[in-house]
Structure 1
Amino acid sequence: MQMKVKEVAELVGISVRTLHHYDDIGLLKPDTTESGYRIYSQKDLESLQQILFFKQLGFPLKKIKAIINSPSFDREEAFQIQRKMLLEERARLDHMIATIDKTIQHMKGAIYMSDLEKFEGFDFSKNPYEQEARERWGDEAVDESNNKINKMSNDEQKALGEEFDQIYRDLAAIRHQAPDSDEAQAGIKVWYDYLNKIGNYSLEAFKGLGQMYVDDERFTKNIDKYGDGLAEFMRDAMAVYADRNNFD
Structure 2
Amino acid sequence: MPDATDADGLPVGQVSTRLGVTVRALHHWDEIGLARPSLRTAAGYRLYTAGDLERLHRIVVYREIGLGLDRIQAVLDDSTVDVPGALRAQRTQVAERIDRLQQLGAGLDRMIDAHERGLLLTAEQQAAIFGPQWDPDGPAQARQRWGDTTQWRQYAERSASRGPEEWQAVADAVAALDRALKDAMDAGVTPGSPEANQLVERHREVFASYFPLTRQMQVCLGRMYEADPAFAAHYDGIRAGLATWFRRIIDADARAHGIDPDTATWQ
What is the TM-score of this pair, normalised by structure 2?
A: 0.43
What is the TM-score of this pair, normalised by structure 1?
A: 0.46
Larger radius of gyration, structure 1 or 2? 2
